[in-house]
Amino acid sequence: MLQRKITLQEAEIPTHWYNIMADMPNKPLPPLHPGTQQPIGPEDLAPLFPMELIKQEVSAEKWIEIPDEVRNLYSLWRPTPMFRAYNLEKALGTKSKIYYKYEGGSPAGSHKPNTAIPQAYYNRKEGVKKIATETGAGQWGSALSFACKLLGIECEVFMVRVSYDGKPYRKIMMNTWGATVHASPSNLTNAGRSILEKDANSPGSLGIAISEAVEVAATHDDTKYSLGSVLNHVLMHQTIIGLESLKQMEKAGDYPDIVVAPFGGGSNFAGIAFPFLQNNLTGGKKIRAIAVEPTSCPKLTRGVFRYDFGDTVGMTPLIPMYTLGHNFIPSPIHAGGLRYHGAGAIVSQLLKDDIIEAVAINQTECFDAGLLFSGAEGIIPAPEATHAIAEVIRQAKRADEEGISKTILFNLCGHGHFDLSAYEQYLSGKLVDYEVSQADINASLAELNTPAI
Ligand SMILES: *Cc1c(COP(=O)(O)O)cnc(C)c1O
């Protein structure tokens, strides 16, 4: 029988997260205060985050221990399986070997609980009663609702209006785990009201929803804020994916030439790629790590490297990042998790230093790839994950054209069971591509008055 599935025992769940900051040749520039534009210290972040997460955010320590209770909760769905995609290889007729790490088996259906659990854990440990957050496609909101429920704290979610209306099941999932969910922009915050005054029918955006959640946390003593991507500690929690993958690759007697993942703010990409990049930076290995973004929101391939806000209203610290400008509102593609204007500081610095690569792909090519994948391997991928699959197919074809064989690993970061309306549109031929025009990018960037780098 073909050995498709490469599994680990519970005891093999990693004991530490990997902090790539320790090995980076150039560390990211410091975040700046949104008002003074001076570097911020831990005390500036204290109203928003528990101290332990702030320490992790600025830490340069290479390994950070995973608390026992977190490892225990991880074991509800971890270690996650890795698969050799024999059927996909056959469907492509490729000589390359394709592996994928499957994160869709978590209770929320994506990689996001990998950071939601430790974030809820450290908040509870420091006596926080409630966490406020935003969600775009609903994946982060469901992951945090799940984590807060298990750890016994309240969760309040600002959900981008278009998703709130279009993805009712994600909302019900959050409610089932006990969370309160508001459509954003809402009239509950100054940030929401100021947007609604300009446009009562605003479809919302991730940036607006972030502004609302940050405002709630900043104005309530017992409430903190939580982010599902972008920040250093979030990327670090996700390295559990790549650390398991390293062990699984060893079991398979293989090592990837190329690691591929979709890119929204950078967390699932960092999660699978950073542990392999450690071996590039310190162990003489040479994998290529490729981040895949949508052509409708191409911050890595067409954005600028400068300081920008994480949100739309300008309340979060200024982060050194690749960005399309914090006012950029991407077209309504189905990979909701990839519709974010910026990127994390660490991944941005790594791209600047040519340690990672980026590519942008149209959504119809991605859904073509998703359909081919589900017909071969069975799993219906989240629209975000189809971006990785499309790039894997390009790489395998390129290798075949060159008459060589590559070993390719990608992150299947979630299933698409809540995205079936996107598949419905695709199947009925209604899905279109939205390649953003240079004029639109220029217009958004022209509004930026944040510090250049
Ligand atoms: C949130 C999400 C993403 C995008 O976020 P990253 O931080 O870039 O990983 C991609 N895929 C899925 C399934 C998601 O839930």
- pLDDT, one tens digit per residue, over 269-284 is 999 999 999 999 999 9
Q: Are residues 304 and 218 in the same domain?
A: no
Provide the percentage of residues in the chain whose pLDDT is more than 70: 100
Higher pLDDT, 163 or 296: 296
CA distances from 262 to 267, 318, 337, 387, 390 (A): 9, 24, 9, 6, 10
- Reply yes or no on whether the pLDDT at 89 is more than 90: yes
- Reply yes or no on whether the pLDDT at 333 is more than 90: no
Query: Once rounded to an integer, what is the mean pLDDT over residues 177-183?
Result: 98
Residue 16: strand pairing partners: 65
> Which amino acid residue places its CA nearest to atom 1 of ligand 1?
337
pLDDT at 334 (0 to 100)? 80
Give the whole-angstrom CA distance, residue 329 versus residue 151: 35
Strand, coil or helix: 381: strand
Give the whole-angstrom CA distance, residue 138 versus residue 167: 8
Neighbours of 196 (CB within 10 A): 16
> Which amino acid residue places its CA nearest to atom 8 of ligand 1?
264
Q: Are residues 375 and 245 in the same domain?
A: yes
| Residue 384 Cβ contacting ligand 1 at under 6 Å | yes
Q: Are residues 212 and 168 in the same domain?
A: yes
- Reply yes or no on whether the pLDDT at 313 is more than 90: no
Residue 101 near residue 272, CB atoms below 8 Å: yes
Q: Is residue 412 part of a domain?
A: yes
Q: Is residue 60 part of a domain?
A: no
Q: Are residues 253 and 341 in the same domain?
A: yes
Written as one letter, the residue type at 223 is T
What is the residue range of 313's domain? Answer: 75-109+236-442
Residue 267 near residue 289, CB atoms below 8 Å: no
Closest atom of ligand 1 relative to the 338 alpha carbon:
4
> Which amino acid residue places its CA nearest to atom 3 of ligand 1?
337
Angle between helices 113-125 and 139-151 (to 10 degrees): 40
Q: Are residues 295 and 420 in the same domain?
A: yes
- The total number of residues written for the chain in this structure: 453
Neighbours of 26 (CB within 10 A): 10
Lowest-confidence segment of 207-211, 264-268, 419-423 by average pLDDT: 207-211
Domain boundary residue among 196, 227, 258?
Answer: 227
Q: Are residues 313 and 369 in the same domain?
A: yes
E strands, 9-129, are: 16-18, 63-65, 82-84, 97-102
Q: Is residue 277 part of a domain?
A: yes
**CB contact set of 199 (below 8 Å; sequence gap of 6+):** none
Ligand 1 mean position to 384 CA, how many Å? Answer: 7
Q: Are residues 378 and 347 in the same domain?
A: yes
Q: Are residues 217 and 243 in the same domain?
A: no
| Ligand 1, pocket-test mutation among 163, 260, 267, most atoms within 8 A of CB | 267
- Reply yes or no on whether the pLDDT at 246 is more than 90: yes
Sign of the torsion angle spanned by Cα atoms 50, 129, 223, 337: positive
pLDDT at 339 (0 to 100)? 83
| Ligand 1, pocket-test mutation among 100, 101, 111, most atoms within 8 A of CB | 111
| Residue 110 Cβ contacting ligand 1 at under 6 Å | yes
> Which amino acid residue places its CA nearest to atom 11 of ligand 1?
384
Residue 383 near residue 167, CB atoms below 8 Å: no
Strand, coil or helix: 393: helix
Q: Is residue 240 part of a domain?
A: yes
Ligand 1 mean position to 258 CA, how many Å? Answer: 20
Cα–Cα nearest to 84, from 398, 377, 421: 377
Q: Is residue 54 part of a domain?
A: no
Ligand 1 mean position to 29 CA, how many Å? Answer: 24
Q: Are residues 105 and 117 in the same domain?
A: no
Q: Is residue 326 part of a domain?
A: yes
Ligand 1 mean position to 407 CA, how many Å? Answer: 24
Cα–Cα nearest to 140, from 62, 211, 226: 226
Q: Are residues 256 and 212 in the same domain?
A: no
Lowest-confidence segment of 51-65, 213-227, 323-337 by average pLDDT: 323-337
User: What is the phi-psi region of residue 354: left when phi exceeds 0, alpha when psi lies from -120 to 50, beta otherwise?
Assistant: left
Domain boundary residue among 227, 247, 265?
Answer: 227
| Residue 410 Cβ contacting ligand 1 at under 6 Å | no
| Ligand 1, pocket-test mutation among 268, 346, 415, most atoms within 8 A of CB | 268
- Reply yes or no on whether the pLDDT at 201 is more than 90: yes
Domain boundary residue among 166, 193, 227?
Answer: 227
pLDDT at 92 (0 to 100)? 98
Ligand 1 mean position to 104 CA, how many Å? Answer: 11
Question: What does the mean pLDDT of the chain come to?
Answer: 96
| Residue 103 Cβ contacting ligand 1 at under 6 Å | no
> Which amino acid residue places its CA nearest to atom 5 of ligand 1?
264
pLDDT at 1 (0 to 100)? 87
| Residue 265 Cβ contacting ligand 1 at under 6 Å | yes
pTM (2 decimals)? 0.97
Q: Are residues 218 and 252 in the same domain?
A: no
Ligand 1 mean position to 447 CA, how many Å? Answer: 27
Half-sphere exposure of 187 toward its Cβ, with a 13 Å CA cutoff? 6
Phi/psi of residue 159, each to 5°?
-105, 125
CATH number of the domain bearing residue 170: 3.40.50.1100
Q: Is residue 35 part of a domain?
A: no
Give the whole-angstrom CA distance, residue 324 versus residue 329: 9
**Domains identified in the chain, total number:** 2
Q: Is residue 184 part of a domain?
A: yes
For the chain, give the longest Cα–Cα distance: 63
Q: Are residues 96 and 242 in the same domain?
A: yes
- Token representation of residue 79: 């270690």
Of the pLDDT bands very low, low, confident and very high (cuts 50, 70, 90), residue 262 is very high
Sign of the torsion angle spanned by Cα atoms 395, 401, 402, 405: positive
